Structure 1
């Protein structure tokens, strides 16, 4: 049961699992977190676009601690294009918010983008037309120059390098949150109900019709990135443990390597004993002990992460809890 606020004139509150039936050409899904200062300008810029087949905007407030909820409700009340506002009961994470938005999208194609205006709204039509006219299921964007902080760019390169190893994707394809997906890809991705979604990992399992185009990337208009080092590490764990068994195989390899090293170390100790020398052996013993113990704890940690995620999934940890959904069909200007 939702505790939605009364709907304003021109708005309606829609059950969380019942998107409107009338299709449009393009849906734009925007996860909102600390975006009160920028989401209004973004919606205004998107509202003037005229993509083939029509446009709808979906805002997903992922438990933002600022007044994003009030701003988004006001935007829904005055929208000149169909706009859906989804409110999460708490913060679940960007990819969880995107999943909630995808389930409400009606578009033949769906674009996801951030609320910080670093993705220029005028690039939306280029991205949409490239996917639509080229018959691609997914088109990612790449940047000639990224206007993120240095550590964030380094983290992105690391995550994409790991994705090259873990995911079945074209090597070097940059995984950006500014992406366009076909209705087919969106429909299949939205079927995932686990608590740890990674949209790009799901897309790689759905289709191989992938492409990318280069777009502009602007400096952040307000504030600073909501992605902390902790959030980036958690996102990497979603990638590493939800969509690949490679970490388990690396753990097996590490165990095998340490086993071989142990055999050589044992042979060396026996040789020393037979040679008649009587070294203390303390340093070599402690070195081998610490190496073996470290690898064992690493393996246990990897196994524990898999088991813990399986446990939480089996116990029904929610992917996202939608408090209410407000829809507006837009006001003709």
Structure 2
């Protein structure tokens, strides 16, 4: 099969049949399938199954009871189950008219010989249009996103006029699914920033949405900003801030306990226990809250986090003792502890990113009813 058309949906039952009907008419005899990755809590899955049984174009449904990572996670799930060499991503609300599919697909298939591995629909090339952005918030959101993304990624987005586009085709063997971290909903931006792609753009028109209600709101500007920042510099600044506050608390607790008559070892151990718990709570609520659903369970996360931090603290405390006693740094215990905390921060950040909040590929498999038609 040449192409899998991935359509992420959330309560889009009013648009399903029209989308399938127009897609079938548009693609003609091309070798394609449609995969709906559905996070709905209404009758959309039932509508998809009914429509699938009445149309000739192959249609499959992936229903996710636990919508891990939202729209971006739905697209990534579609990539995983696709049968085609190419995956086309388009909205389920008819804002991406199915009549644009032939040009997108044909450009992709013809470009394979020249190494093309990504074809994106752009509203900002000749023939493209964003007239479907019917309100000021969405117009602002679109231009804000494109502007800030191109400002922060001038090289990687040099050939892209519309990195915020949700209508594109990508050759699946050209991307590393494991490297994609779709915390945000702009998966094309994620692909472009993670790897250098051989991009070609075609004109795209953003039409007014079909039935149902728009999912766009001002909060998406904040989500997009966060996605771009994480793509640029990762979560280290946030982790560092939490670690810094925890470090200050650690030193303050240690100092206060020493003033109360505790030995520096007793004070260091107590300070470590208190700050380990406090840092974990802060990370859960302010830094990694969007990864909790796709990671291991809460108590497992806490066990891994606290366990590693306890080991790191024990080693750090031993090194502190060795430095103070063997190097005679009794008058510099706080300064020595501060230096060790910096080293410990780098180790803890790496462990939390790669282990504690690692996204488990099978985390949502038991919760999903996957029906292939």
Q: TM-score range by the shorter chain?
A: 0.5 to 0.7
Segments of 4+ moved more than 4 angstroms: 246-249, 306-313, 316-320
Within 1, Cα distance between the matches of 2:28 and 2:3?
7
Aligned counterpart, 1:170: 158
Which structure features the higher share of helix residues? 2
**Which of 108, 119, 122 is matched with 1:139 structurally?**
119
Distance 1:65 1:177, change over 3 A: same
Aligned residues: 252
Q: Against the structure 1 CA distance between its residues 306 and 115, is the aligned structure 2 distance closer, same or farther, given a 3 Å change threshold?
A: closer
What is the Cα deviation at residue 316 of structure 1? Answer: 4.3
Superposed, 1:147-226 pairs within 5 Å as 147-148=132-133, 149-167=135-153, 168-170=156-158, 173-175=161-163, 176-185=165-174, 188-192=175-179, 194=181, 196=183, 199-200=187-188, 201-226=190-215
Please state whether the residue corresponding to 1:130 is helix, strand or coil. helix
Residue number in structure 2 paired with 1:271: none
1:46-103 per-residue CA deviation (whole Å, 9 max, x = no partner) reads 12344675110000002x1221121122223334122210011133311110000111
- CA–CA distance in structure 1, aligned partners of residues 151 and 219 of structure 2: 22
Q: Could you say which residue in structure 1 is the equivalent of 2:372?
A: 327
Distance 1:195 1:321, change over 3 A: farther
Larger relative contact order, structure 1 or 2 (CA cutoff 8 Å, min sep 6): 1
Report if aligned partners of 1:82, 1:327 keep a CA contact under 8 Å in 2: no
User: SS at 2:53's partner residue?
Assistant: helix
With structure 1 as the length reference, what TM-score do the two structures score? Answer: 0.66
Pairing partner for 2:20 from 3, 27, 43 = 43
| 2:43 aligned partner | 67
- Structure 1 Cα separation of the partners of residues 78 and 181 of structure 2: 16
Tell me the TM-score normalised to structure 2 length.
Answer: 0.60
Q: Give RMSD over aligned pairs.
A: 3.2
The structure carrying a bigger strand percent of its residues is 1
Q: Is the 8 A contact 2:235 2:287 kept in 1?
A: no
Partner of 2:94: 117
- C-alpha separation in 2, matches of 1:218 and 1:118: 4
Q: Would the alpha carbon gap of residues 111 and 104 (structure 1) be closer, same or farther in structure 2, given more than 3 Å must change?
A: same
| Structure 1 residues without counterparts, runs of 5 or longer | 1-23, 253-299, 329-333
Pair 190,25 (structure 1): closer, same or farther in 2 beyond 3 Å: same
The unaligned stretches of length 5 or more in structure 2 are 124-128, 241-281, 292-348
